[in-house]
A and B are shown apart, each in its own frame.
Chain A
């Protein structure tokens, strides 16, 4: 394809080079330093990570863990020193600096539920104060999570930001989660948010960790929690407009820690503990879904001659503990150092973890390093260099809907695929003999290398003109292998396959801003900028089978003809934006912006798209009439804006796929249908709300309501199969509406030096509906689909219409069950601190309003190996034999769900269940060791005992309402969002609970 003409192509180099030469000269000056300590006024606890700055001089520093800071090279004279930190009111203080002298300024900050002076970046073009922003803002800092058992941003975000859903879909070690922001406003495209790390956009989609593992590695997993200073999240199209196409799912921006001027500060952490699998299956099931192999093991016969009769079995390969699950030892180590001078500072960290799973061969090791270097060659020029590398290496057991999967075999009791054993395993066994230990002979691994590097140059050409240029490269290489060795029970000659996924994202980003004041009342900030993102994707697959003997194979070892696959893709997204922010009396702000975006998916003309936005904020509490005694801070805000989602790069073209008829004979088969008219779908969002702080920060409430409308929604339209192309055609025919309300309630009822207790509730409610699909109905796998008048996406199927009646089931086809994704997300977080030494953190999370097909119960039920069905099935067998008495005590739903082979009438639709749940997600007790015990080796040290996923409350009958089989979402192992949105639980191992003991030290 021909490259289109594009006027920006060489412009970047010229712009940035010219900027370099326009830097003004700097004269030598006499200087001194400013030092001090920042603490919380109420509790006197030190505040780390506070930004202390002499803004007029563009000098500043961050406080360390003890709340201390030092600013070097401050010109002689009197200056205004300002402190900003999220959760506390900003404070200013005058300090006088003498030549070679040290001025001291201590700050005691008052907590506030609403931080208007907090500086934010995400979605705002340039760094601005929160008071100027017209949409909801959410941020989490390192202080919020310092005691919690979190290892990466996924653990951090779950339950802590209203409207953000983080699910833990699988219990394989190293498995990543899924993130949704404000539900789903696209019918067919990937709903994942964009991710930025230190200002550089990185790859944001999960990548399969192997066909047999049924889980994915998530791009957020590669960022160590210890490295994170702050996470900002913006949610809807009204906030993400400046990010253009692809941003409709929200934006997560992660800022890692940076150097602090001063002596090196070291921080280390050692964590050890265990992962422990909770009981699976029905609470009354003594076999715990047959994972206890020392129990009385039996199922019910499906044979017509002995229907419903007890079939006993034993497993001679059962572990000596009598349980397949075991405790998995967890270890994690991290060490970082930060320091530097005013002109050069650094943050360098490394981490390593080794986590055994709860099954014999499961393990995950990951480790990496991060080096952030800040150069400040001139007062008005800074260069931030950020580099991070992570390696993750996991070994899984086969999982999910997979003939070699752990739960599909162990959990199926009499119906597993590993029977008969080897050698004399089953000698002397008079009942059915199963031998599930051999499923662990399979070796399934995934190894990923992630390298992310970026450079951000900030140049303030004058006092009111700033320029920011960044270049970044994100590289991910993931190799997954599956090896069933020679002699493997199910495939005695063995097989081996290997898949390598490579993802690259190269980005260039420039933003400039011009600030001016007009008179005493008006301010103006005009921003402009542009970005180019180039994505590269490659997936290579090869497999072989039928080895001639034992030994570790390679891809040429098998006698069977090899299977190969290869997918290559590159595309570009680019655009520019303009934005004007007008302020009036520093109380009223009006923002207007326009994003112009193009994508090579739109063809040779690059299909420029225009996304406008307008927002406003009004600080009512700054007016004299406002009753600040009761409501000390009150900000009204509103925003309307648009964002988009691009179609796939081939949705425009009709293509044919090369195929091989037989060796030496290649051919073509229909590929993409092609739609020359396709463009991006557009989501317009109106958002309004307020941020309020009551009673001097005792109580805070942030309320946001939003309404979205996605037009030109990209719908995969099914064409008549008799027209030859079976793939769907992506067309802009749909319209989806949505709305939601989010609350963040913060209560800090006790704030004393001896006792500090704060509670935060994050509530998000969302709903959406496909209001126009041009008569189309989108069918996806796993019973999910998109239909006019229903949430996007939803489950449909056969349904028992009289579920609670003691009667025969009345079944209707094609009935609505409910949405696939949660519509209610609640996080409840409490932190209680005694004497600044003992802290108890608790996080509960609720997700609800959604449904999940429970295939484990369905498949077991029809095979007579689902404990809750045993009694019902005995009654159903009696009914088959003409005795209707026993079945009379069972409901229609029980009768429908428990029908089995030999009786018939079973259907997996009956197992689509409400997936509402509450979880005690995290619980941690931290003790800060007394100074007199540690002063010889550290400035600060603590011990934490923490647990995660400790309790689950749900009516869902499967193993866990959070799990899903990743392969269901990623057809062919490639997650592209095109209709792959039907979740289901299918013999998937759930996330285990963990108990961890950590020792943290700063010195």
Chain B
């Protein structure tokens, strides 16, 4: 073989091989994902807390439409299949609730697990004075409150079936920790929100006196929200998309269609087509009345706020038989929206429909009404809302959880 050919062969064979040996490695490279162990550092704590908020918002976004239909906040005018939810049949197809149940459980677990993780990262003293930790407790409390309010029963971390009150008890504890850690770290908004959360929880646990005391810690103009953002598609407020870009839900055929459209608590409109006719919903049949409470896809959803607390205190007063005090508190709440005061109902029985209406208005499209219907229905008599008669008012443990959780029958 002459030298030229040898050199040619050497180069043609060796250079590609060397080049490739440099390029080829045996590593998996995937920037963008974080190994579990990499989060065990103080620098990761703000991100861990933000993740809790993200997961809670995502869960709320996923459930808000179901609850709005199930509780009559809105009526279905679209083409998506919501099964029997608009008719108040929630227990028949537990697989329909798989996604929402999973998201709420993830939000709860992420918050509770995150707090356990942070407790392993920070020294005890630092942990007790950390504002991020206070927010973590707050978010864990709200995640549990949501689960308690929407679930008929539940389960914790793959365990056996527990009553919904288990979530209320956990939330009570978590909100109390948020108050103490938030107080120690100077996170006043967290503390105020935790009082709001705990007030509702204590009411649901039957301790209305303590609930009213907590509610008084919340200013009338205060609001604490689940953060929604268009930066991330997963926590865009989909109700806005479905009532602006689409016409999936309507105020038509709800209790609000007879109410003024300019009530700032329940704002809505009747859009018309080019011919001046009422627009039909996505189903082509149902009149479409558009909700205007949430206008942008980054519109936050309140978790607790001052008017809610005033109404809570009004309900506590009513339960004490004080219609006058109830009316005063309701009117304080109405004043926050610039609404005229209402007249005092003549009797306790007359007061309950007023209380129910005012609470429904203040909490419209905040995902809270299903629980209200449930607890009022359970008490019966004048307390019960006729709307909830014959309807399911809570969701079952999801079909998916029942299938794969060995501790559930």
Complex contact A659–B157 (CB within 8 A): no
User: Chain B residues with Cβ under 8 A from A25's Cβ?
Assistant: 1
Complex contact B29–A661 (CB within 8 A): no
Complex contact A3–B47 (CB within 8 A): no
Q: Any chain A CB within 8 A of the CB of B343?
A: no
Complex contact B157–A653 (CB within 8 A): no
Complex contact A659–B232 (CB within 8 A): yes
User: Chain B residues with Cβ under 8 A from A560's Cβ?
Assistant: 230
Q: Any chain B CB within 8 A of the CB of A720?
A: yes
Nearest-neighbour CB distance to chain B for A87, whole angstroms, equals 37
Considering only residues 24-59 of chain B, those with a C-beta below 8 Å from chain A are: 24-36, 39, 44, 46-55, 57-58
The 5 closest A-B pairs by CB, nearest first: A667-B50, A724-B109, A667-B51, A721-B102, A13-B17
Complex contact B26–A606 (CB within 8 A): yes
Q: Which of B9, B10, B401 has the most CB of A within 10 A?
A: B9
Q: Any chain B CB within 8 A of the CB of A420?
A: yes
Knowing A722-B156, A723-B157 are in contact, say whether A16-B13 is a contact too (CB < 8 A): yes
User: Chain B residues with Cβ under 8 A from A601's Cβ?
Assistant: 28
Q: Any chain B CB within 8 A of the CB of A426?
A: yes
Complex contact B48–A668 (CB within 8 A): yes
Cβ 8 A contact of B246, one of A3, A17, A403, A506: A403
Across the two chains, which residue of chain A brings its CB closest to B48?
Answer: A668
User: Chain A residues with Cβ under 8 A from B283's Cβ?
Assistant: 302, 415, 863, 901
| Main secondary structure on B side of the interface with A | helix
A660-B54, A724-B113 given; 11 more Cβ-contact pairs under 8 Å:
A1-B27, A15-B17, A20-B14, A561-B230, A572-B24, A600-B27, A661-B229, A665-B46, A721-B106, A721-B398, A723-B157
Considering only residues 629-677 of chain A, those with a C-beta below 8 Å from chain B are: 649-650, 653-663, 665-672, 674
Considering only residues 123-144 of chain B, those with a C-beta below 8 Å from chain A are: none
User: Chain A residues with Cβ under 8 A from B48's Cβ?
Assistant: 667-668
Q: Any chain A CB within 8 A of the CB of B227?
A: yes
Q: How far is the CA of A490 from the CA of B52 in the complex (A)?
A: 35
User: Chain A residues with Cβ under 8 A from B13's Cβ?
Assistant: 16-17, 19-20, 457, 469
Q: Any chain B CB within 8 A of the CB of A566?
A: yes
User: Chain B residues with Cβ under 8 A from A802's Cβ?
Assistant: none
Knowing A302-B285, A469-B13 are in contact, say whether A534-B273 is a contact too (CB < 8 A): no
User: Chain B residues with Cβ under 8 A from A571's Cβ?
Assistant: 28-29
Q: How far is the CA of A12 from the CA of B22 in the complex (A)?
A: 11
Complex contact A662–B398 (CB within 8 A): no
Complex contact B10–A660 (CB within 8 A): no
Complex contact B51–A656 (CB within 8 A): yes
Across the two chains, which residue of chain B brings its CB closest to A14?
Answer: B17
Question: B residues near A, CB below 8 A?
Answer: 1, 5-6, 8-10, 12-14, 16-18, 20-21, 23-36, 39, 44, 46-55, 57-58, 79, 98, 101-103, 105-106, 109-110, 113, 154-159, 227, 229-235, 245-246, 273-275, 282-285, 298, 398, 400-401, 403-405
Q: Any chain B CB within 8 A of the CB of A187?
A: no
Nearest-neighbour CB distance to chain B for A796, whole angstroms, equals 12
Complex contact A721–B400 (CB within 8 A): yes
Knowing A455-B16, A532-B24, A568-B31 are in contact, say whether A377-B8 is a contact too (CB < 8 A): yes
Q: Any chain B CB within 8 A of the CB of A303?
A: yes
Q: List 9 A-B contacts (CB under 8 A).
A: A13-B14, A16-B13, A457-B13, A568-B31, A570-B29, A658-B32, A667-B47, A722-B105, A726-B102
Complex contact B158–A378 (CB within 8 A): no
Q: Any chain B CB within 8 A of the CB of A933?
A: no
Complex contact B21–A568 (CB within 8 A): no
Considering only residues 827-865 of chain A, those with a C-beta below 8 Å from chain B are: 859, 863
Across the two chains, which residue of chain B brings its CB closest to A304?
Answer: B285
Nearest-neighbour CB distance to chain B for A387, whole angstroms, equals 14
User: Chain B residues with Cβ under 8 A from A649's Cβ?
Assistant: 28, 30
Across the two chains, which residue of chain B brings its CB closest to A533?
Answer: B24
Complex contact B20–A471 (CB within 8 A): yes
Considering only residues 719-741 of chain A, those with a C-beta below 8 Å from chain B are: 719-726
Complex contact B32–A566 (CB within 8 A): yes
Nearest-neighbour CB distance to chain B for A727, whole angstroms, equals 10
Q: How far is the CA of A443 from the CA of B102 in the complex (A)?
A: 37
User: Chain A residues with Cβ under 8 A from B157's Cβ?
Assistant: 720, 722-724
Q: How far is the CA of A301 from the CA of B280 in the complex (A)?
A: 13
Q: How far is the CA of A575 from the CA of B328 in the complex (A)?
A: 80
Knowing A378-B1, A667-B48 are in contact, say whether A723-B285 is a contact too (CB < 8 A): no
Q: Any chain B CB within 8 A of the CB of A563?
A: yes
Complex contact B54–A661 (CB within 8 A): yes
Q: Any chain B CB within 8 A of the CB of A42?
A: no
Nearest-neighbour CB distance to chain A for B86, whole angstroms, equals 11
Complex contact B27–A720 (CB within 8 A): no
Nearest-neighbour CB distance to chain B for A530, whole angstroms, equals 12
Q: How far is the CA of A540 from the CA of B44 in the complex (A)?
A: 26
Complex contact B29–A568 (CB within 8 A): yes
Complex contact A302–B284 (CB within 8 A): yes
Q: Any chain B CB within 8 A of the CB of A94?
A: no
Complex contact A672–B33 (CB within 8 A): yes
Q: How far is the CA of A724 from the CA of B109 in the complex (A)?
A: 5
Complex contact A718–B54 (CB within 8 A): no
Q: Any chain B CB within 8 A of the CB of A21?
A: yes
Complex contact A471–B16 (CB within 8 A): yes
Q: How far is the CA of A674 from the CA of B33 in the complex (A)?
A: 12
Q: Any chain B CB within 8 A of the CB of A937?
A: no
Complex contact A656–B33 (CB within 8 A): yes
User: Chain A residues with Cβ under 8 A from B30's Cβ?
Assistant: 568-570, 649-650
Q: How far is the CA of A414 from the CA of B400 in the complex (A)?
A: 37
Complex contact B27–A570 (CB within 8 A): yes
Q: Any chain B CB within 8 A of the CB of A9?
A: yes
Cβ 8 A contact of B52, one of A16, A598, A667: A667
User: Chain A residues with Cβ under 8 A from B46's Cβ?
Assistant: 665, 667
Q: How far is the CA of A670 from the CA of B17 in the complex (A)?
A: 41
Across the two chains, which residue of chain B brings its CB closest to A564?
Answer: B231
Complex contact A20–B231 (CB within 8 A): no
Nearest-neighbour CB distance to chain B for A537, whole angstroms, equals 9
Q: Any chain B CB within 8 A of the CB of A518?
A: no
Complex contact B6–A671 (CB within 8 A): no
User: Chain B residues with Cβ under 8 A from A665's Cβ?
Assistant: 46, 50
Q: How far is the CA of A574 from the CA of B52 in the complex (A)?
A: 40
Cβ 8 A contact of B33, one of A15, A600, A655, A719: A655
Knowing A561-B230, A658-B34, A721-B400 are in contact, say whether A3-B27 is a contact too (CB < 8 A): yes
User: Chain B residues with Cβ under 8 A from A532's Cβ?
Assistant: 20, 24
Cβ 8 A contact of A6, one of B20, B26, B230: B26
Across the two chains, which residue of chain B brings its CB closest to A429?
Answer: B275
Knowing A491-B245, A563-B233 are in contact, say whether A420-B273 is a contact too (CB < 8 A): yes
Cβ 8 A contact of A663, one of B47, B156, B229, B234: B229
Q: How far is the CA of A672 from the CA of B30 in the complex (A)?
A: 13
Knowing A17-B17, A420-B273, A663-B229 are in contact, say whether A669-B155 is a contact too (CB < 8 A): no
Cβ 8 A contact of B106, one of A13, A670, A674: A670
Q: Any chain B CB within 8 A of the CB of A508?
A: yes
Considering only residues 893-913 of chain A, those with a C-beta below 8 Å from chain B are: 901-902
Q: How far is the CA of A654 from the CA of B8 in the complex (A)?
A: 50
Complex contact B231–A718 (CB within 8 A): no
Q: Any chain B CB within 8 A of the CB of A58?
A: no
Q: How far is the CA of A459 from the CA of B34 in the complex (A)?
A: 47
Q: How far is the CA of A721 from the CA of B404 in the complex (A)?
A: 9
Across the two chains, which residue of chain A brings its CB closest to B53?
Answer: A661
Nearest-neighbour CB distance to chain B for A589, whole angstroms, equals 32
Complex contact A674–B155 (CB within 8 A): no
Q: Any chain B CB within 8 A of the CB of A4?
A: yes
Across the two chains, which residue of chain B brings its CB closest to A560?
Answer: B230
Knowing A669-B110, A721-B101, A723-B109 are in contact, say whether A662-B245 is a contact too (CB < 8 A): no
User: Chain B residues with Cβ under 8 A from A666's Cβ?
Assistant: 47, 50
Complex contact A722–B405 (CB within 8 A): yes
Complex contact B5–A377 (CB within 8 A): yes
User: Chain B residues with Cβ under 8 A from A1's Cβ?
Assistant: 27-29
Complex contact B401–A720 (CB within 8 A): yes
User: Chain B residues with Cβ under 8 A from A717's Cβ?
Assistant: 404
Q: How far is the CA of A9 from the CA of B18 in the complex (A)?
A: 10
Complex contact A3–B25 (CB within 8 A): yes
